[in-house]
Amino acid sequence: MTNQAAGPLSTAPNFRDLGGHTTRSGARVRTGVAFRSDALDRLDAADMRMLGDLGVRQVIDLRTSFERASKPDALPEGADYAVLDVQGDHSTGADLVEVLTDPARAEAVFGDGGATSFMHEVNRVLVTAEDARAGYAEVVRRIAAGAGATVVHCSAGKDRTGWAAALVLELVDVPREAVVADYLASNDRLSGIQASMRAACERSGVDPALIEPMTKCRRAYLDEAYAEVERAFGSFEGYIRDGLGLDSPTIEALRGRMLG
């Protein structure tokens, strides 16, 4: 169960509270501590006020330099802004834009199951890449130590942010099925992003069906991340300890903030 009372923001439809879940031991995950979102570049005055009312004091941006430069965040007054590029600050975003303006290249890259394979690869990289591991560890540290509420976001708020949300919920012992449900909840909030991607494809002559697997959350994508955890680190505990380097005091601090 997830508490959605705080959102979504009208200009960030995938904004929502990570609180409201029940842990395996019966504890309740506090609302108002950590939020997940899509990009914050479109915030209007009303939504900016809402972030202030929610006590947001920290915004964590997981996007690449290309994404940040093209659509810089609008930030609530006084909020700390942290860039934690979990894709190594490379040009993935720019490359994707270029691919989607070239019908032949798009067919070569994303046709014949290529888009689905791409999404599986993305989820593996988010687990094992050095920049991703450093970034996600810092997400946990910042939420654990933060004064006020924290918003973690990327562009659509589904993949990079989805793994951040899964990590935090796992660390506070939310059952796996509830973590998966939170991940899949993005699908009901992405119609605007999906429509804009279809329109961009149509303008450039790219078949929108090619990129459809990239516009959705599928359980198989998240399962691929968990499988990568097992392959690379043996267990989720191994991932936390050896992959992210998180110590017990940090995890206890996170639970102290997140659990009521």
* 8 belongs to a structural domain: no
Return the pLDDT at 23: 98
User: Residue 138 sits in a domain of what CATH number?
Assistant: 3.90.190.10
* 2 belongs to a structural domain: no
How many other C-beta atoms are found inside a 10 Å radius of the C-beta of residue 191?
A: 11
Return the pLDDT at 99: 82
* 5 belongs to a structural domain: no
- The structure tokens listed for 149 are 């509420």
45 burial (CB, 10 Å; 0-12 / 13-18 / 19+) is exposed
* 202 belongs to a structural domain: yes
- Decide: 222 and 166 in contact? Cβ < 8 Å: yes
Return the pLDDT at 92: 58
Span 224-252, pLDDT tens digits: 999 999 999 999 999 999 999 999 999 99
- The Cα 227–Cα 231 span in angstroms is 6
- The structure tokens listed for 13 are 């439809």
Locate the DSSP E strands across the chain: 16-17, 34-37, 56-61, 80-83, 149-153
Span 166-202, pLDDT tens digits: 999 999 999 999 999 999 999 999 888 888 888 888 8
- The Cα 163–Cα 154 span in angstroms is 11
- pLDDT by residue, tens only, the chain of 260 residues: 444 444 569 999 999 999 999 999 999 999 999 999 999 999 999 999 999 999 999 999 999 998 999 999 999 999 999 999 999 866 555 567 778 888 998 999 899 999 999 999 999 999 999 999 999 999 999 999 988 999 999 999 999 999 999 999 999 999 999 999 999 999 999 888 888 888 888 899 999 999 899 999 999 999 999 999 999 999 999 999 999 999 999 999 999 999 98
| pTM for this predicted structure | 0.92
Helices (H), 78-175: 92-99, 103-110, 114-128, 130-145, 160-171
Domain membership of residue 140 as a residue range: 16-255
* 150 belongs to a structural domain: yes
50 backbone φψ class: left, alpha, beta (φ>0; ψ -120 to 50): alpha
111-123 per-residue burial string, b: 16 or more CB within 10 A, e: under 16: eeebbbebbbebb
**Of 34, 33, 35, residue with least CA distance to 8:** 35
* 127 belongs to a structural domain: yes
Return the pLDDT at 198: 87
Return the pLDDT at 162: 98
In the chain the first and final C-alpha atoms are separated, in Å, by 15
Return the pLDDT at 7: 52
* 37 belongs to a structural domain: yes
Number of domains in the chain: 1
**DSSP 8-state secondary structure symbol assigned to residue 72:** P
